[in-house]
Amino acid sequence: MKSSLFAHGFRAQFLLAGCAALLLVPIWAANFALGTPLGTSWPPTLWHAHEMLFGFIGSAIAGFLLTAVPNWTGGKPFSGSPLVLLAAIWLAGRLLIASSAVWPAPLVAVIDLSFLLVLAVLVGIPLLSTRNRNGFLLLVLGLLWLCNLAFHVALLRRNPPGALRALHVGIDLALLMVTVIGGRIIPAFTNSALKPLGASVRDRGFVTALAISSMALVTLTDIFDASPALSGWIAASAALAQTTRLLQWATWRTLRQPIVWVLHLSYAWLPVGLALKAIALLSGSAVGAFWLHALTIGALTTMIVAVMSRASLGHTGRALAVHPLTTLAYLMLTAAALIRVFGLTAFHMNYISTIILAALCWGTAFALFLGVYAPILWRPRVDGKPG
């Protein structure tokens, strides 16, 4: 059967994101727990964090934008050689970084940095030519690119704290995208699900403004390296704003529809992660120590899997109802987040066991996801339409 991998923007990038997730975390866990060597010359923790952000999350963002932008602008969907080029650049970046010990650092940086630049050109042309309201996402892509540049420069200067700070700002920017885009699609999809029941939800404008502005402030505190007290209180305020927003969306009414409740679940991790960050910065309590993983595994990754699973069905002509194995993948990913964030404090596990068990749950989640969606992403639409 002929492959349709490059027939639409989401296909190759979602598949690459799933494969990256399946491989990267177990490799990192094996290195951390067992000392399994890595081919990279980078510090293992920085390699892990960079590849999760600019490899896995970056590919998922690309798949989303390459699919959403034609819908937003009324243009022709991306297909063919531009998608092949983008996938090749992404893959080359991952391979060079994984074997960076044998390559000149500037070469590794240039190839890795090319991915977001090419993506910005592809989606920027239709966004700017139509003056679409989502053109602000080009600014977000540009700032993400600057974070990646700052990371590579810090590595060249042997400045691990500077590299880590660049990654934290990059994560903030990704969470800002979740706040803006997730805040649009969650109530919209929830309303679609509740329509047969004669119910609906609202997203009040002032609450939306509070949620977005508070996340922007969280980002600024990391950019300017604000004091722990200021950063903590801003994180606490953002957690309150995000909680208020989520409470508008009648999560309890979606519990029979996994394809909808998983979106609510991903967004719920935002206030949880921000509250844990506030606790860690303001009190130093061990309960909040792993706030970053609540935001990256809980909020970002769950949102990515939720969007990938829904978009892949809708854009291949399939019904918007997930396979039971996909629901299990949602639950396994949630287990990975809970164990990674609360394993030491709530479950009284030792640190190595926490890493290994969380990685096993994560790997299982993405193995299940790929088992269901790799054939969907590879094969033509079931309705015979192009794309």
Alpha helices in 180-257 (DSSP H): 183-194, 205-223, 228-247
> What fold characterizes domain 9-378?
Cytochrome C Oxidase; Chain A (1.20.210)
Please choose, from the candidates 381, 319, 383, the residue with its C-alpha nearest in 3D space to the C-alpha of residue 2: 381
Structure tokens at 265: 């679940």
Per-residue pLDDT of the chain (387 residues; tens, 9 = 90+): 568 999 999 999 999 999 999 999 999 999 999 899 999 999 999 999 999 999 999 999 999 999 999 999 999 999 999 999 999 999 999 999 999 999 999 999 999 999 999 999 999 999 999 999 999 999 999 999 999 999 999 999 999 999 999 999 999 999 999 999 999 999 999 999 998 888 888 888 999 999 999 999 999 999 999 999 999 999 999 999 999 999 999 999 999 999 999 999 999 999 999 999 999 999 999 999 999 999 999 999 999 999 999 999 999 999 999 999 999 999 999 999 999 999 999 999 999 999 999 999 999 999 999 999 999 999 999 998 888
* CA–CA dist 223, 225 (Å, integer): 6
DSSP code string of 332-378 = HHHHHHHHHHHTTTTS---HHHHHHHHHHHHHHHHHHHHHHHHHHHH
Domain ranges for the chain: 9-378
